[in-house]
Structure 1
Amino acid sequence: MNLLEHASNWLEDRRTEHATSTVTYQRGNDTVVVSASIGRTIFDVDNGFGVVERTETRDFLVLTDDLVLGGARKLPERGDRVRETQGTTTFVYEVMAPGKEPHWRYSDPYRKTLRIHTKHISTETP
């Protein structure tokens, strides 16, 4: 491991330790509770008719090794869900990105962290 990779890993460990919330990642009936930092990405997508549409996604940054579903490490898939609870309200997000943009990417050069793009699809209240 080189010095830059070591420093990147240290920073990712501190982010996970001090700047995350607990969310539930879901694919079908499989779920896993993970620590996630919340972010956003703004996409500018040409709609094919000369108009550029700006879309903002809510991003969840999670450690690659933490995304384990059905006993195996997985990568995000379109249609997966992220459930974020604040107080008694649960916000449900679907993994997706606008146009032909990728729905996730690695957030660091060493593939330790995933940046998962989502869109809010529902809110659940008691």
Structure 2
Amino acid sequence: MNLFAKARDWLTAQLEEAAGEPITYTRGNQTFALTAVVGQTLVSESEEGPARVAVSERDYLIAAAGFPFATPAIGDVIGQTVGGVPLVFSIQSTDSGDPAWRYSDQTRAMWLIHVKRKKGP
């Protein structure tokens, strides 16, 4: 492993430690406890008079090295408790047409996964 790869791995671990949140990742009947960094992607923006409206969608950054599958898949489910409320999100493409997931960097250290909140129980 070269110096750059060591630094990349160290930075990924530092990001998870500083900003990571516990989540569950489910595919079919398999559920895994993971750490993810929560983010958002701006998908549209409009101005009407003095008001500006921005719409964003939730993202998760998950280390590729600890990911339990070869790739994420549309329809996989991420669970997270936010403010004491359990929330469930489904992996989907964004409304603006971005793919449901991609590597977040050219070294493929982390997945950037787009989700939408599931309605109902």
TM-score normalised to the size of structure 2? 0.78
Instruction: Give the aligned CA root-mean-square deviation in angstroms.
Output: 2.1
Asked if 1:76 is matched to 2:93, the reply is: no
Deviations 1:26-66 (A, max 9, x none): 1111111100000011235xxxxxxxxx7522111111122
| In structure 1, distance between residues paired with 2:39 and 2:84 | 22
Alignment of 1:13-24 (within 5 A): 13-24=13-24
The number of aligned residues is 111
| Conserved? CA contact 1:106–1:112, under 8 Å | yes
- Which of 66, 83, 86 does residue 82 from structure 2 map onto? 86
8 Å contact kept, 1:57–1:97: no
Once the two structures are aligned, what percentage of the paired residues are identical?
A: 32
**Residue 65 to residue 4, structure 1, CA distance change in 2 (3 Å):** closer
Q: Structure 1: where are the runs of 5+ without partners?
A: 45-53
1:12 offset after TM fit, Å?
A: 1.1
Measured in 1, the distance between the counterparts of 2:120 and 2:65 equals 28
Q: Match of 2:33, SS?
A: strand
Give the distance between the partners of 2:120 and 2:9, measured in 1 at CA. Answer: 34
Letter paired with 1:80: D
The DSSP-based 3-state class of the residue aligned with 1:66 is coil
CA contact 1:83–1:90 (8 Å) conserved in 2: yes
* Secondary structure in structure 1 of the residue aligned to 2:114: strand
Match of 2:113 in 1: 116
Q: CA deviation at 1:2?
A: 4.9
So what's the TM-score if we normalise by structure 1? 0.76
Query: 1:123 & 1:74 partners in 2: Cα distance?
Result: 29
Map of 1:51 onto structure 2: none
* Rounded Cα–Cα distance in structure 2 between residues aligned with 1:4 and 1:43: 33
Structure 2 CA distance for aligned equivalents of residues 43 and 86 of structure 1:
22
SS in 1 for 2:73: coil
